[in-house]
């Protein structure tokens, strides 16, 4: 420690006196060097795309939002291809879903059937293959589509994060 004179004010606020205090910084740019450059905030769309590279996600906004299409693999299961909106940093290695009850499968005749699970199969940079299980009445090889049936539906593609 160095002995020195300190100057301040007597009406200052201690922002660290309570764990409930919040301190916010916005539009902060930290650079190496002695010359500062202008701060230019990212466009919202660009920033969203950057985030989607690390955690591809599909959130339902309605009760009939499509998730993916594919074909039946027997009477009770189907393979589906789910496209990504933005190519991930690396292909995901798993999925997390809100609940199986938030999805339903449509058969080629248009009749819905509930499912009991969505299982990760594999993925690349363009999309992911999932296996839907627990349906009834499907015909092997026929086309199927899985839709969200709840506004609470969500699927997260994990493994692309740092």
The predicted-structure confidence for 43-80, as pLDDT tens digits, reads as follows 999 888 888 899 899 999 999 999 999 999 999 999 99
CA–CA dist 120, 38 (Å, integer): 44
pLDDT of residue 162: 66
Please say whether the beta carbons of 114 and 101 come within 8 A.
yes
Which residues does residue 78 pair with via DSSP β-bridges, in sequence order? 72, 132
Question: Which pLDDT score is estimated for 107?
Answer: 83
The pLDDT value recorded for residue 39 is 85
77/114 Cα distance (integer angstroms): 11
pLDDT at 36: 86
Length of the chain in terms of residues written: 162
81 close to 122: Cβ distance less than 8 angstroms: no
Q: What is the predicted pLDDT for the residue at 115?
A: 93
Q: State the Cα–Cα distance between residues 89 and 36, nearest whole angstrom.
A: 30
User: Which has the closest alpha carbon to 80: 138, 143, 137?
Assistant: 143
CA distance 115 to 134: 5
Low-confidence ranges of the chain (pLDDT < 70): 1-3, 6-9, 162
Contact of 117 with 102, CB cutoff 8 Å:
no
The CB density around residue 7, as the number of other CB atoms within 10 Å, is 4
Output DSSP code: residue 42.
P
- Whether pTM > 0.75 for this model: the answer is no
User: Residue 117 forms beta bridges with which residues?
Assistant: 133
Give residue 17's pLDDT: 77
| Tokens standing for residue 28 | 């902060």
pLDDT in the model for residue 1:
55
């Amino acid at each position: 420690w160095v002995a020195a004179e300190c100057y301040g004010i007597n009406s200052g606020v201690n922002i660290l006196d309570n764990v409930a205090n919040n301190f916010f910084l916005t539009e902060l740019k930290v650079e190496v060097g002695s010359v500062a450059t202008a701060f230019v905030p990212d466009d919202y769309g660009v920033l969203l795309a950057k985030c989607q590279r690390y955690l591809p996600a599909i959130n339902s906004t309605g009760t009939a939002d499509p998730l993916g299409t594919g074909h039946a693999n027997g009477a009770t299961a189907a393979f589906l291809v789910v496209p990504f909106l933005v190519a991930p940093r690396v292909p995901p290695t798993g999925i997390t879903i809100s609940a199986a009850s938030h999805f339903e499968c449509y058969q080629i005749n248009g009749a819905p059937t509930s499912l009991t699970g969505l299982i990760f199969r594999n993925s690349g940079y363009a999309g992911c293959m999932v296996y839907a299980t627990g349906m009834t009445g499907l015909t092997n090889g026929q086309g199927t589509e899985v839709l969200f049936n709840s506004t609470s539906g969500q699927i997260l593609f994990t493994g692309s994060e740092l």
